[in-house]
Structure 1
Amino acid sequence: MSFTNPPSPLAPAVYLVGAGPGDPDLLTVKAQRLIAQADVVVVANSLVPPAILAGVRPDAEVVRTANQTLETIVPLMIDRVRAGRSVVRLQSGDPSLYSAIHEQIEALVAADIPFEVVPGISAFQAAAAHLGVELTVPGGVQTIILTRIGGRTQVPEPEALATLAAHQASLCLYLSARHVTTAQAQLLTHYPPDTPVAVCYRLGWPDERVVVVPLSEMAQVTAAEDLIRTTLYVISPALKAIGGRSRLYHPEHDHLFRPQQP
């Protein structure tokens, strides 16, 4: 991103920025601006591709955290802000989903460090765009569930995958490729075997792969492609032709800006 005039310096703070699924073109304008202005960029480099860092200032400090824990990452950010520097913490996708910002925010608040959260595009949105579909189709499905299966991080019992599958909604399954056989079995307790599933690997990265298969083949395809991480599954009736039309633009639907014609 280029600026006609030099940008104003960022206030010393931690900016928790969603880097999107991987495509630099899907960064928000605000994210681009913050990356271009930051004194320090702390990046989850195992999940954020190098191309996202193209706009970083040449003199900025770049800290890659793939091999670090929060016990080293958070004190570093606190130290840099107390030294009067601005810190961008680049998180993959959107910070509101599976990003571990909750514990970072708690530590920043305890240390009296100002912070700001900047949203990003999530993988499920990039998947729908790639597939050219809407995940909420009138007469077919009107709910989207974002979830994961329990692994080393357990999910609460009321959120068990088989329980959520009962809704037969558009279900977007994160962080579950290592447990895909179990996930498939639980989904099949409610979804028909021919329900379409988009298996999405490294969305937005140069080696992105997306394939749509029946639910009954989800585990088989995952194993055949050796997909053990950075994989999203979108299980949805909306991935096949189910008809339906929104009332919003229907000629019989009147509202404030389109009163009913006599």
Structure 2
Amino acid sequence: MTVHFIGAGPGAADLLTVRAVELLRAAPVCLYAGTYLDPEVLAHCAPDAELIDTRQMDLDQITDHLVRVTEAGKDVARLCSGDPSLYSALTEQTRRLDARGVPWDVTPGVPSYAAAAALLGAELTVPELVQSVVLTRTHARSTAMPESEALANFAATGATLVLHLAITRVRPVAAELAVDYGLDCPVAVVYRASQPDQLVLRGTLADIADQVETARLRQAAVILVGRALAPGVSCAESHLYDPARDRPATEGSPR
């Protein structure tokens, strides 16, 4: 029997992969992160499936449930918000499962930053302007950040910056980033991208904190910072699609 860690995507029921939906339909038990999911996601589960909200559980309690189900001879779905590769506690959970001899696998999901960019209609990597995206977070009442991953270090690169778990610190974060990006740098805050109550705030490092505080956002939002977010941003043309680029024929390519 297997524990299936499944990326639930940004929350919308129709933004799961086909594999994720098939696993949910087949699983007799589903543990899910209730804080961030649209309840409609759970409609993919079988009508008689046991549904367990983990928002009030610690990792040991979650693991005990996962082990209980597998010991009963059943597969179990563990729904993670976004993609399991980012801030999902996948490492901690699978380490516990390995110690207890429980098989597991991972099905990826749409990460929240990708859903936010789609809602903005933005490409985060713009030719000759910015070609890197940094996914990071800040530290307040959460796990400490490595010293080498100070926000200023990332800001100095000028990369498009995506901040998770930072919405309650937006004012000091904006002030810190303005040193390298400038107060006029475009910023977008996306709350619950793809869900019915989604909200998009656009501004600059000079005014985004005021907007966030007026909207009273406290969780489930990502902050995107960078010049690539400017409406109608001008940029060079991608070399990949340059008409002057030599394109040798590829054997077996479709005609």
TM bucket by the smaller chain?
over 0.9
Question: Where does residue 195 of structure 1 map in the other structure?
Answer: 185
Give 1:42's match in structure 2, choosing from 10, 31, 39: 31
Give 2:58's match in structure 1, choosing from 40, 44, 69: 69
Question: Where does residue 127 of structure 2 map in the other structure?
Answer: 138
Q: Kindly report which structure 2 residues correspond to 1:26-105, keeping only aligned pairs within 5 A, or say none.
A: 26-105=15-94
The count of residues paired between Structure 1 and Structure 2 equals 247
Using the TM superposition, give the Cα deviation of residue 47 of structure 1 relative to its aligned residue in structure 2, in angstroms: 1.4
SS at match of 2:179: coil
Using the TM superposition, give the Cα deviation of residue 99 of structure 1 relative to its aligned residue in structure 2, in angstroms: 0.6
**1: CA distance, partners of 2:150 / 2:81:** 25
Q: TM-score, normalised by structure 2?
A: 0.94
Using the TM superposition, give the Cα deviation of residue 256 of structure 1 relative to its aligned residue in structure 2, in angstroms: 3.6
Q: Percent identity?
A: 41
Residue 167 to residue 136, structure 1, CA distance change in 2 (3 Å): same
Give 1:123's match in structure 2, choosing from 112, 125, 142: 112
Say yes or no: does 1:17 pair with 2:9: no
SS at match of 2:98: helix
Say yes or no: does 1:247 pair with 2:255: no
**1: CA distance, partners of 2:152 / 2:206:** 15
**2: CA distance, partners of 1:55 / 1:22:** 13
* Runs of at least 5 residues in structure 1 that lack an aligned partner in the other structure: 1-11
**1: CA distance, partners of 2:146 / 2:234:** 33
SS at match of 1:234: strand
**Residue type at the aligned position of 2:218:** I
Q: What whole-Å deviation, never above 9, does each CA across 1:57-88 have from its counterpart, x for those lacking one?
A: 11111111111111211011011101110100
Using the TM superposition, give the Cα deviation of residue 182 of structure 1 relative to its aligned residue in structure 2, in angstroms: 1.7
CA contact (8 A) 1:137 1:245 kept: no
**Residue type at the aligned position of 2:196:** P
Question: Where does residue 207 of structure 2 map in the other structure?
Answer: 217
**2: CA distance, partners of 1:120 / 1:223:** 30
**Residue type at the aligned position of 2:163:** L
